[in-house]
């Protein structure tokens, strides 16, 4: 077996890959949040950045595919591992007190992940597919000021805002375990720094989804 296969095909290799994709997505999410947040402050800035992101070749043809790969990888690997893990215990306990030794969020990453997956479907349907259709299928002329309007428009419907908010709650749950877990899986556990990473993880897991919810609610309220 080559070292490559031996390393990445192993249990540790897989979880390391999970962690790397997670860390990548965490960075992406931060970036996404920061851009979106500009919509609360300045319509102009938001449009400028969105236009840049939408037109820049590097972003569109290098970063975007990597991101898509990262998202798909994280989900597919998550499912593969879940199936393997379930398979590792064929007879279940008649009585199992998981809450005595671990957090609910850590035991239910697959469910919080699934909710996020459905959300991503919605999100793609809402933004990404129209965007791709706009640019690469219908070849509509570019209007550098269209982005803000499109964003705000999506948050007119209270049901949709509700679904978004709920999804972000699940994202928070996923991150509450996932952030620190990604560091642990990567072998980063240090008596001095790990408590800090854990705190940072909690802060991130709450602040970022809360921020996204805030943006959605903000635009909803501004229209009503």
Partner 1 sequence: MSTAQGLNLTLKVWRQKNNKDKGQMETYQVTDISPDSSFLEMMDILNEQLVGEGKEPVAFDHDCREGICGTCSMFINGEAHGPGREITTCQLHMREFKNGETIYIEPWRAKAFPVVKDLVVDRGAFDRIMAAGGFISVNTSGNTQDANALPIPKYDADRAMDAATCIGCGACVASCKNSSAMLFVSAKVSQFALLPQGKVEAAERVQKMVKVMDEEGFGNCSNTGACEVECPKGISLENIARMNREFIKAGAASEHSS
CB of 84 to partner 1, least distance (A): 6
* 7 counts as binding partner 1 under rule CB under 8 A: yes
Tell me, by CB under 8 A, how many residues bind partner 1: 46
Residue 195 CB-half CA count within 13 A: 2
Q: What is the spatial distance between Cα 140 and Cα 83, in angstroms, rounded to a whole number?
A: 44
**C-alpha count within 13 angstroms, C-beta hemisphere, residue 102:** 11
In whole angstroms, the minimum distance from the beta carbon of 121 to partner 1 comes to: 24
Candidate residues 21, 36, 112, 185; the one interacting with partner 1 per rule CB under 8 A? 185
- Which among 22-30, 47-55, 160-168, 182-190 is the span making contact with partner 1, rule CB under 8 A? 182-190
Q: Which of 74, 154, 174, 177 binds partner 1 (CB under 8 A)?
A: 177
Select from 31, 102, 143, 222 the one that contacts partner 1 (CB under 8 A): 102
Contact residue for partner 1 among 44, 84, 153, 199 (CB under 8 A) = 84
User: Residue 151 and residue 86: Cα distance in Å, rounded?
Assistant: 40
| Per-residue tokens: 52 | 């840049």
Q: How many separate helices (H) and strands (E) can be counted in the chain?
A: 11, 0
Quick note: the x/- pattern for partner 1 over 120-159, rule CB under 8 A, is ----------------------------------------
Give, in order, the Cα–Cα distances in Å from 172 to each of 81, 105, 132, 158, 177: 21, 10, 28, 21, 9
Angle among Cα 23, 25, 27 to the nearest 5 degrees reads: 70
The residue among 42 and 103 lying less far from partner 1, judged by its C-beta, is: 103
H or E segment to which residue 144 belongs? none
- Is residue 200 close enough to count as binding partner 1 by CB under 8 A? no
Residues in contact with partner 1 by the rule CB under 8 A: 1-4, 6-8, 10-16, 81, 84-85, 87-98, 100-103, 106-107, 109, 177, 180-181, 184-189, 191
């Amino acid at each position: 077996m080559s070292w490559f296969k031996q390393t990445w095909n192993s249990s540790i290799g897989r979880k390391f890959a999970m962690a790397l994709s997670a860390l990548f997505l965490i960075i992406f999410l931060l970036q996404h949040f920061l851009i979106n947040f500009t919509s609360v402050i300045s319509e102009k800035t938001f449009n400028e950045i969105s236009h840049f992101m939408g037109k820049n070749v590097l972003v569109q043809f290098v970063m975007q595919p990597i991101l898509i790969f990262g998202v798909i990888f994280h989900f597919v690997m998550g499912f593969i591992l879940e199936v393997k893990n379930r398979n590792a215990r064929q007879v279940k306990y008649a009585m199992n007190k998981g809450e005595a030794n671990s957090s609910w969020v850590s035991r239910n990453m697959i469910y919080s992940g699934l909710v996020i997956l459905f959300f991503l479907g919605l999100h793609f349907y809402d933004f990404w597919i129209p965007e791709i259709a706009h640019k690469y299928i219908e070849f509509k002329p570019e209007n550098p000021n269209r982005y803000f309007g499109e964003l705000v428009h999506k948050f007119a419907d209270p049901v949709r805002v509700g679904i978004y908010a709920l999804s972000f709650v699940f994202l928070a749950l996923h991150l509450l375990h996932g952030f620190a877990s990604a560091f642990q899986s990567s072998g980063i556990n240090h008596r001095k720094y790990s408590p800090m990473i854990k705190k940072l993880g909690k802060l991130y897991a709450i602040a970022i989804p809360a921020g996204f919810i805030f943006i959605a609610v903000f635009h909803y309220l501004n229209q009503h």
